[in-house]
Amino acid sequence: MKAHRESAADAHREDAVKALVTRLDSFGDVLLAGPAVRAVAARADSVTLLCGPLGEPAARMLPGVDRVLVWDAPWAGFEPPPVDREDIARLVASVASVGADTALVLTSYHQSPLPTALLLRLAGVARIAADSEDYPGSLLDVRHHRAPHAHEAEAALDLAAAAGFPAADDGLLRVRHVPDATALTGAGPYVVLHPGASVPARGWSPGRCAEAVAELTAAGHRVVVTGGPGECDLTAYVAGGQALDLGGRTDAPSLAGVLARADAVITGNTGPAHLAAAVGTPVVSLFAPVVPAERWRPYGVPYVLLGDQDAPCAGTRARECPVPGHPCLNSVTAYDVLTATEKVMQA
Query: Domains of the chain, with CATH numbers?
Result: 8-162 (3.40.50.2000), 182-346 (3.40.50.2000)
Alpha carbon distances (Å) from 328 to 167, 205, 268, 287? 36, 11, 12, 8
- What confidence score (pLDDT) does residue 289 get? 86
CA distance 35 to 160: 9
pLDDT at 346 over 70: yes
Q: What is the pLDDT of residue 15?
A: 59
CA distances (Å), origin 34, targets 133, 145, 170, 233, 336: 23, 20, 12, 32, 32
What are the two backbone dihedrals, phi and then psi, of residue 18, each rounded to the nearest 5 degrees?
A: -105, 120
- Distance, CA of 341 to CA of 194 (rounded, Å): 13
Tell me, what amino acid is at 45?
Answer: D
* pLDDT above 90: percentage of residues in the chain: 84
Calculate mean pLDDT across residues 222-251. Answer: 97
**To the nearest whole number, what is the mean pLDDT of the chain?**
93
Determine the average pLDDT of the residues in 41-70. Answer: 98
Mean pLDDT of 270-297: 95
Indicate the length of the chain as a whole number.
347
The answer, yes or no, to whether residue 7 has pLDDT greater than 80, is: no
Task: Tell me: pLDDT of 45 over 90.
Answer: yes
Confidence of residue 4 (pLDDT cuts 50, 70, 90): very low
Show Cβ contacts of residue 39 under 8 Å, excluding neighbours closer than 6 positions.
Answer: 157, 160, 161, 165, 166, 167, 168
